[in-house]
Every structure is written in structure tokens, then in C-alpha cells.
Structure 1
């Protein structure tokens, strides 16, 4: 299944770099990877010394954290920090706090995969599948699938604890760390609330486009862009209600909401039109969910298209290729693409009005487009 309809506006994701920064963002991915690797390998080695039977749990945790990823949340946090700290401030003191966001992300993904019964993530078995395979490989007693689910929940919990531990290693003044913690707590609470709405949507008899967007704001926008920006600014000392209500705080909230929604809407498109070799997941993995794409398709469908959509989605093994054709024929895919374009434009407008140095404004502008039109 190709995503030809959208290929002209879907460049690959690449980090951006501000020309005025001492610690370029282009180097941030490597720095974050190194910080995560050093931390996770040290933590897992210590636990392995407790009992070697923990190896399946620790292997799943290592893979969840170190098995790839775009690392965009530390990047948003970096620019939030850089915009306040200035171009000459060294990034090393805040690097643990930036990298900690990837541990939070790993927690969310592992639990999300259990809830969605996803088989793969980034082209590899999900944590619950890997642990179920370990159960079978060791010829343990009982149900392998239940063992995998239970172990994956613990993998996610471990990543959440690790996130707190790594964040606390940031070398910033206590008030700044406390301010960052407030943003961090809010992103966690909103992500959990959004995840519940996502689960509820799988079981609800009716779901509105407004609720689908609200779910995207809570589950995705807040902890992908909005709160990482505020979190980064707080690490540089811009904390509290005064910052949130000020011109930069308001701009970051508007920008983050627009980018986060665009990110989730792009996910909807990739879920049906993406290339599995690129996304790392099979197409049609989210067919049971009331995504904005499917809600738009139903709203725009003719009677015949509506009947076919119902039949395809009710099938035990849906014909994903045919479903993609019907959804495209309703115009829903193009409308969703237009919605992404509108949100990128709103993000750019928020930046234009913000009190930012030009390198930061340019980097965040490029980042908005890159994550909104990513291929994976």
C-alpha cells in the first residue's frame, strides 16, 4: 500500500539546527542517544546483578528505550530551553532532563501497545510480544500472552520510574527543576487522560470529531510539543503562571497545540496509507479506533460508501487496500491533509508573533513542518 497521494508533501523527518547555537540541535540526537544508553545500560546491569532471571524484562526495557525513535520530544524541549537560555548556554547540564522525556515516551508506547494489541513497533516485536516469546522459549508454565502483557506493564512502569530518576540529574537550580517538574507532571496527567479517551473510543457506540480532536490534544499534542516546550523553558528559569500567560508562553501553547494535532492527524494518514517498511507497523493497525480519518470518511460517504465502510470495518480480517480506496474516494484523506496544512500554518503564525531569536523561530518552523509531514 503506497501513500502516493501524500508523498509530495511528506518529507522525511530530519532534526533542525539553529545557526547561532553553540550546541547545535543536529547534534542533540546523538547526545540524547548517548545519555539514554549510558543510563539504561547502567540501570539494567545493576538490576541484573540482583537476579539474572530479570533478563527478559530488562531486554524488553532496553529495546523499548534504545530501539530507535525520532527523539522529537527532547528536541522540542531543547528549543524551549534554548529560547530562554540563549545561544551560548551549554546544553550538558540540562541533557538528562531532555533525555528523560524519551523514557516517558517509552512508558507510553509500551502500555499503548498492550492496550492496542499491537504486534510490532519500529519494525520489531512489541514488548508484550517479545516477552510472550521469551515465555515460550523458556518453556514456562501458564499462558504466554498473559505473561507478556504482565511483563510489558512492568516494563512501562520501569521506564516511568527511570524518567524521574534521569530528570533529577539535571544540573539546574532547584526552582528551575521544580518548574520543569510542574510541566512534566501536567504532560503525564494529560497523556493518561487522553489514553483513556482513546481506549473509550474503541468501545463507545458514538464518537464525535470534536472528541477525536480532544483526544489528540490530550494524548499527543500536550506531551509531544506543548509541554516539552514549556518544560524546556522552565529548565532555563522561565517558570510559573507569569511565563505561561506571557507572550512566549502563550505562543508555545498555541504552537504546540497546532503541531501536536498535526502530528496525530498525520499518524491517522500513515496508519492507512503509510509504508510498513518505513513506519515499522502494518497498515490498518488502528482500524478499530474512531480516528479523525474514519470519522471524516463516514461523514462524507455516500450511502453506498457508508455501507461498504461498515462491511469492511466489521470484517474479522478487513481488506485494508479496499478500505483505503473507499476512504480516499470520500475525500476524507485529502481533507485530513488540508487540516494538517492548516495547523502547520497556525504554528508558523504563532511563531511569527512570538518574542524569539530568529534562529529559534526558524528551527521551530522547520520542525513543525518536519513532524507534520513525516513518513514514519
Structure 2
């Protein structure tokens, strides 16, 4: 940039037409890509700083967020860069601080928190920043794990804050982070993540609880979501070889199970209490689809206890009751334009356990 300007090939206040039909100044393009050294240089060449404020819009904020995270910036450098741009009135037209974090919001980076002194952040401010990074930029989230450590040391977080519908649960976010990060981050942060998972379990986290994000998912499903989303982002970078791609996807899903095993969880019993996702087949296209078996509907924990320890109940004592609800988390949240609504899963075609239990006899 300095050479082009010194040679007279471009002027500091030149504008460039972008692929989206907008015409932006060099200083605005540099700021949106997180190249603040370019911004400082152009300001030293006499560019009007008000140019950034007049040309800035929400899509550039999204690009800036992505650029800051992909540039391997630390939290301190991100805070410094955001405050520098705020001094140029870049964020002057932003909307009021939104306390809710949804996956559908692509430009939620908690700017108002980043503009405050780091020492003034509460535990919930740190969690909001970490959540926004994981939900929107999960492949770059591992290096910000230090933000969630205070929450794992406060049991009050799990007794009160965890029940707020608009705030994702910590174990679910860690699971999605494990599935989405790249191999270098996985090798570097595997042991710290296992320590965080172990601390979360000791503090009272439930590995089978449904999150309040979208329709509600278990941590294992969040790990699968993180692995698939990260795999989808990598498709355009290289030619995909099917066998290797499937193996890589499986390894990403297995990361969460690796963390659980490192935290002391018995994986041989974990699967009996998890939601099962499978394909449903049929003779017509509309009969095919995903089938989900919910633990609150199938009483899987009680069933396997009956199979492995028949001496605990007399024949016929295990019956299915529509009124008994052993898993209160069966209630899920779905997001509508006016907020969250509660509903229970009712599926008349839900697969039940076989009537003939002789199959399970030795």
C-alpha cells in the first residue's frame, strides 16, 4: 500500500467498487478486513476519519468480526482494535445491546462489552463473549477458553443462570467448540478442554440435558453440529476425497467423547441416555427422514436397568406411563418471530421397544 501510494498509482482517498455493488474507500476496506495498520497509515496520509463512519454498515461489522478472529488475534488485541475503531465512530450507529444470543444472528460480537475495560467484565460478560464466538465462529473459539473458567468455579451459575432460556448451556457450547476447531487447536487445547469439562460435571452440569438453543439438543448433538458445520466450511478449500472426509468427520465427533473419557465419564453407559439420531426408510421419498428417539419418551435409563438387573422388579412391573415424566428436560423451546414457545414432542409413529423381550434373554 505504501509503495502504491508513494509511486502515485493510487491516492489515499481512492474508492473501489466491491463485488456487492458498493463503492468503498481504501480505509474502509482495510478496516473491514482488520488491517488496522493500513487504516493508521491512510489516516497519516490525510484521509478524513469521518469516511469510516459514513461508509460503515452492518455487513462490514460481520466481516470485521470474522477477520479479527481469523487473524489469530488474542482477546487483548481484539479489544484494542475495537476501541480504536470506536474512536473513529465506526460503531456509532449500532443498535442497543442485545442480551439474547441466537445462532441466526450473524453479527453479534458483544461490541458493547468489548468497549468496556476488561477489569470491569462480570462472569456473565465473559460468557456472552465466548458464546458469541462459539455460535458464530466456532472454528476459532478454542483460544478463548479462558473466558469460561470463572463460570466453572461458581456453582451459582448452574443453579440460576443456566436456566435462562436465551442463554446456551456451557457444556453444549464446549461440545460444539470441540467438534468445530481445527487440528492444531485440538492438539493445543485438548487437555485444557478436558479439565473444563471435568470441572463442569463436578459443578453440576447434566450431559443429557437439552439446550435452549433452537429446538433443544444434547451436548453430543452439539458436537455433531460443530463437526458438520466445520466440515462444510472446508469443502471449498480443497478437493474432497469421500473416505478421508468421512474419517475426518468421525474424528471430529469423537473429540467430545474423548474429552468425556478424559474427564472420567464411563462411555459404555453414556449412550443409553443419549438421543439417538438415525435414518428412517420407506417406499416413498416422503417416508424417508431423520428419526429421533427422545430419552423422556423411551425411558431408556429405566429400560436398560431392567434388562441388566431383572432381579430389581417382578415380571410385568416395568410399564409405560403417559403421565410419568422421568426427564423434565423433555420440554423444548422453539423460536418463533415473537419469541420462544414451549411444546412437547408428540409423534404417533415413534418407534417403541419390541413387545417380545425374549430377544434380550441370555
Write 1 or 2 for the structure with the bigger share of strand. Answer: 2
Same-fold call, TM > 0.5?
no
Write 1 or 2 for the structure with the bigger share of helix. Answer: 1
The higher radius of gyration belongs to 2
Structure with the bigger RCO (C-alpha within 8 Å, sep 6+) is 1
